[in-house]
Amino acid sequence: MEGSIAVFVNKFVIAAASLLFSLVFSLSVTAQPLALSICSDPANSAFIDTTQADCEALVNFYNASGGGVSWNTVDNGSQWKAGNSIQNWEGVTTSGTITPISVTQLRLVGRGLSGTLHPDIGNITSLTVVELTDNNLSGTIPSTITSLVNVFTLNLANNDFTGPIPSNIGNMTDLFILSLQNNRLDGSIPVSMTTLPALALIDLAGNQLSGSIPPEIGSMAFLQRLRLNGNQLSSSIPTEMGQLATYLRELNLSDNQLNSAIPATLGQLNVLETLDLSGNQLDSSIPTELGQLSALQVLDLADNNLTGNAPQELDQLASLERLDLSGNQLSGAVPDSYTNLSNLDFFHLEGNNFTGDLWAQFASFVQANGINFGPLPVRAVPTLPWFAFVLMFVPVLLAVRRKL
C-alpha cells in the first residue's frame, strides 16, 4: 500500500513542478518554433553535422514538445537554433568525427517539456538512449519509437502519456532498461515485450494497465527488476515467474487486482531481495516455500485475503528487514521463532485473526531492536465504580438546590 501512496506523491510533485514551470515562463517566454528549412538551408550547412533526416526529426521533436519554452532560453551555444551546431544542442549527444555524425542520445530530464512526442523520433535510428523523464509530455507513445533498435535505455517515466504500450516493442532488441512508470498508460502488457533478450529492468508502475501478466515473462532470463505495482492487473500470478531464479532481485506487483493463490514456485527465486504483493486479492495460504528465499530483505503480503497460519518457515529468512502480513485473514499462533529474524526493523501482523496477545509475545523483541511493530498494545481504559459517577454530579445538584 505504501507503493500507491508513493506513486500519488510522485505524480503530485511532478504535476506541481510542471505547473510552476508553466507559470514562470508563460509570463515572459513564448514558444520559439524551429523551421525545418534550417536542416537544408545552405547558409546553415556549416552547423548541420548530422544527416538531414536526423536534423528534421530533432526539429519536429522540439516543436511538438513545447518549442523549448521552459529550457531553450539561454543562448550559450547549446540553444536549439540555426547557427548552433547540433552536437552542441542541449540534451543531444553525438558520436563520430566525420560528417554526418550520429545522434546517439537524447536526454532532457525535468526540463518542462510539454505537448507530444513526435513520431519522427523513430527516424533517429542511431539513438541508444532516450531519457525524457520528469516532464509533462502527453498523448500516446508513437509506435515508430520501436524502430529504434539500438536503444538500450528508454525512460519516459513521470509524464502524462496515455494509450497503450506499443505492441511491437519487441522490435527493440537491444533494450536493457524500460521505464514507463507514473503515466496514464492503459491496455495490456504486450507479449512481445517478453521476447526482449537483454531486458533487465521493467518499470511500468503507476499506470492503468489491465489484463493478466503474460506467463511468457518467465522466459526473460536476464530480468533483474520487475515493477508492475499500482495498475489494474488481474487474474493470477503466473507460476512461470519461478523460472526467473538466476537474476531477479525485485518483484513488485502491489496495488493491483491479482487473485488466487501465491505460486509456490516463487520460492525458487533464490536471489530475490524484495517481494511485494500487497494490496491485491490473493487468497489461500502463504506458501511455506517462501522460507527458501535466503536473500530476501522485504516481504510484504499486506492487505490481501490470505488465510491459514503464518508459516514457521519464514523464520529462516535471515536477511529479512521488513515483514508485513497485516490486513489478511490469517489465524492461529504466530511462531515465537520469528524473534530469530535479527535484521527486522518493520514487523506488522495487525488486522488478522491470530490468537494470543501479540504485543505480550513480541514486546521484548521489538523494544530491544527498535522495530516498527503492529499491533501496538491496547491501553485499557480504567473503569470507575458506580458511585464515582454519582459523585461527579454532586456539585451540579448542589448548585441547582441553591438556586431553588
Same fold, 1-211 and 250-404: yes
24 φ, ψ (degrees, to nearest 5): -70, -50
- For residue 248, give every residue at least 6 positions away whose Cβ sits within 8 Å of its Cβ, in sequence order, or none: 223, 224, 225, 226, 241, 269, 271, 272
DSSP SS3 for 331: strand
Q: In CATH, what number does 1-211 get?
A: 3.80.10.10
Residues in contact with 158: Cβ distance below 8 Å, sequence separation at least 6, in sequence order: 10, 11, 14, 133, 134, 135, 181, 182, 183
The answer as to CATH 3.80.10.10 being correct for domain 250-404 is yes
* Confidence (pLDDT) at 21: 43
Give the span between the Cα atoms of 102 and 189, in whole angstroms: 32
Provide the CB-side half-sphere exposure for 198 (13 A, CA). Answer: 12
> Would you state the cell numbers that stand for residue 164, as one nine-digit string?
497503450
How far is 185 from 165, CA to CA, in rounded Å?
7
Q: List % helix, strand, coil for the chain (3-state, nearest 5).
A: 30, 20, 50
Q: Could you read off the pLDDT of 313-360 as tens digits, one per residue?
A: 999 999 999 999 999 999 999 999 999 999 999 999 999 999 999 999
276 beta partners: 252, 300
374-390 pLDDT, tens digit per residue, is 998 865 344 445 445 44
Residue 279's closest CA among 251, 264, 259, 298? Answer: 259
Q: Which three cell numbers stand for residue 273?
A: 531481495
For the chain, 404 residues long, give each residue's pLDDT as a single digit of tens: 555 555 555 555 555 544 444 444 343 445 678 999 999 999 888 888 899 999 999 999 999 999 888 888 877 889 999 999 999 999 999 998 888 999 999 999 999 999 999 999 999 999 999 999 999 999 999 999 999 999 999 999 999 999 999 999 999 999 999 999 999 999 999 999 999 999 999 999 999 999 999 999 999 999 999 999 999 999 999 999 999 999 999 999 999 999 999 999 999 999 999 999 999 999 999 999 999 999 999 999 999 999 999 999 999 999 999 999 999 999 999 999 999 999 999 999 999 999 999 999 999 999 999 999 999 886 534 444 544 544 555 565 555 455 55
pTM reported for the whole predicted model: 0.87
- Terminal C-alpha separation, the chain: 62
Q: How far apart are CA 236 and CA 285, in angstroms?
A: 14
DSSP per residue, 11-74: HHHHHHHHHHHHHHHHTT----PPPGGGGT-GGGGGG--S-HHHHHHHHHHHHHTTTTTTTTT-
What's the confidence (pLDDT) of residue 160?
98
Q: List the chain domain ranges.
A: 1-211, 250-404
Give the burial string for 334-366 (b: 16+ CB within 10 Å, else e).
Answer: bbeebbebeebeebbbebbebeeebeebbeebb
